[in-house]
Structure 1
Amino acid sequence: MRSTFKTVFYVNGSKEKNGIVPIMGRVTINGTIAQFSCKQSISKELWDAKGNKAKGKSKEANAVNFALDNIKAQITKHYQRLSDREAYVTAEMVRNAYQGIGTEYETLLGAFDKENAAFAKRVGKDRAKRTYQKYLIVRKYLAEFIKSKYRRTDMSMKELSEDFIQDYCLFLRNDLGLAQSSVWIYSMPLKHIVATAHYNGKIPRNPFAQYHVNPDHKERAFLTENELEAFSNSEWDNPNFALARDLFVFGCWTGISFVDIKNLTTENIVEMNGGYWIVSKRQKTNVPFQIKMMDIPMRIIKRYEHLREGNKLFNIGSYDMVNKRIKKIAKSCGIQKNISFHMSRHSFAVLALNYGMPIETVSKILGHTNITTTQIYAKVTSSKLENDISAFEDKISGRFTAMQ
């Protein structure tokens, strides 16, 4: 209620020195009080306690009153701005806004803007452009949600509760029509921003700590061995399509993501134990990975050795352009799946598991931080299930006779 807002000035007599006293300010809103120094002082006899200002028309009195009027105008401006944006406003919030304390993390969208500005400087170094774009989209969706749900332009971080993220996820699903997997994707940056604010002491608690969004992971698509063979053997006169084909096949036999293939240099090729290994770190997670190169990826590297610029293994264009080309290649091979470059990692994981590679090793090669991620990506096919069950059946055959 705005009618309770008031700003008054007074002098601190306990700090009197040679007849001079400092001038203090006090903001009161709905029973909350916040005091602050006006960084002004005055002769004690010139102060009008009733009028909250200096007495008379002297040069000193006029200068002090001008400064106090300016302070009051600034505080009123901050109060009005906060009242337009927040569901509730306290005297401390107004005082802090006037003093410039904590303004970066006072609001949710303000925190997003700060995070995104820092993120933008890291794009191309240790952060991917597509991840940055995701954060921008989440910021946009949050602004739309706050305007729709609360009829405001921003939210105080202190107002956030578990209800907020629940309603936000419902907004993504019902109002924007996103699939549950997309709801999960666009809720994670929100949880990260709020958790960071709590970790840095900007808010007293993390209201989303106990809220978990179900990612609803779908089974990951992959190329079968026959499809991979057809893709690998497709012939292209256009060198750009031939490169796209080879890069995808390279990913199928190494499990390396597009951005990490793009970052590979000659320094990442290391000779160990009589063979050649790729030793690097994932750009996305900074997790180290290493994989011994088999014949096919080795031949692909040698195929483009004469085209190398600097120490980069491959001269690769944008992800979107390579993706468009491998889709056309797949279509020409009669592959009906909605193929993307990331499917090469899925294909590697399934191929490796089907031929007996332990899931812990697959996880290490893929550079996953958690083996549960590998379990999602590395789908166990019906052929492996059949082989495993058959092997199990052979081992226990004749041991149990109860049903004979």
Structure 2
Amino acid sequence: MKDPINICWLRRDLRLKDQAALYHALKGEYPVLALFIFDSNILDELKEDDPRVTFIYHEITRVDSELKKRGSGMLVCHGKPEEIWTTLVKDYNIQQVFANRDYEPYARERDDSLAEFLSSEKIGFNLFKDQVIFETDEIVKPDGKPYTVFTPYWRKWKQKLDDFFVKAYPSESYLKNLYKGKLPQLPALADIGFKTSDPGFPSRTAYTDKLADYAKTRDFPAVEGTSRIGIHLRFGTVSIREAVRNALGAGADVWISELAWREFYMMILWHYPKTATYNFKPAYDKVEWRNNRKEFEAWCKGETGYPLVDAGMRQMNKTGFMHNRVRMVTASFLTKHLLIDWRWGEAYFAEKLLDYELASNIGGWQWAFGSGNDAAPYFRVFNPELQLKRFDPKLEYVKRWVPEYGTEKYAPPIVEHTFARDRVLKAFKKALGS
């Protein structure tokens, strides 16, 4: 008879240090096998050179190497999770499965389905909080309803924050309890249908150097003033608790508030999953989009004739990163200047951004358009030229990404600002009856 084991299923938590599910698994009765699944339900939607898959592969290889030093390793599978789990329960004598909770709609459906299957096999399924400081119903109004405005949410978030919520899980102290049986070699990236693509990933610790000056430098895209931690939070290569502890030590309150925004949007998506595809404010469904395909393609390529917009789009296309201030300007431009559906822009960002986070991306796009919770008012239309003068006055950022700016080769503006502003305000007033 096969020896009993527990499985820790790594998903958005690719680390051994301060890892909630791994800690609880290792504290259990049986040896722990670390598992990762390259989910074909997700991967089949991606291009074969998507750098995020390369990033994940690098991180899995790193974790596997750390586990091998302790006589263990990682079991890495590729396919549909439901089919893989059917095989795993036949191949191993699984007693309990441990994983960290994921709040996105697909992940919730996947985990609900798995819980039902494991229950039928008399196997426990244990989920833990790991990628956020506060989850689901931990920050709610006095009546138990979720906050839909950030400021009171942030006030309560800060008020509740104490040492307990940022204390590290000593998961590394229990690695002696790992599974020591023979495991197959990691599949090559090509085996799962992908090519290596590395545009240059930010280091895991670089963000700590940015915390002290973040509030002063974060709005200026020519300055390397943002933390670039997004991809590490997305895939859990950095613990959110460690990040907050470091920020508290640096007095980086503004940076911590950005982490709270991330959790705010996650919990909005948790409580209102329809906002993944629908406006949070249903009245905005009546806005008549122009959805001009040619103009959308010009926006995608960074050829709108508005230098700050074009610089941002080219930066993202080339590196997989766009400065947050510029994300707001490009999103506002697409939805308000061009009257193109925010879902088109959201999907393009989803394809290109290394740090793509479903909840934050949707929240940001609906904020820019005006249809989200706590969104910018519909009549606020960013003037890209004024944004350029304010946040890139020496044109350092623009000239880095749009070298032809100021020459005859640079495209003329795709639309005139005042005309576009008047047009979108009329569209809003018609839809909203104001």
Q: TM-score range by the shorter chain?
A: under 0.3
Higher strand residue share:
1
TM-score, length-scaled by structure 2: 0.21
For CA contacts below 8 A with separation 6 or more, give which structure has more relative contact order.
2
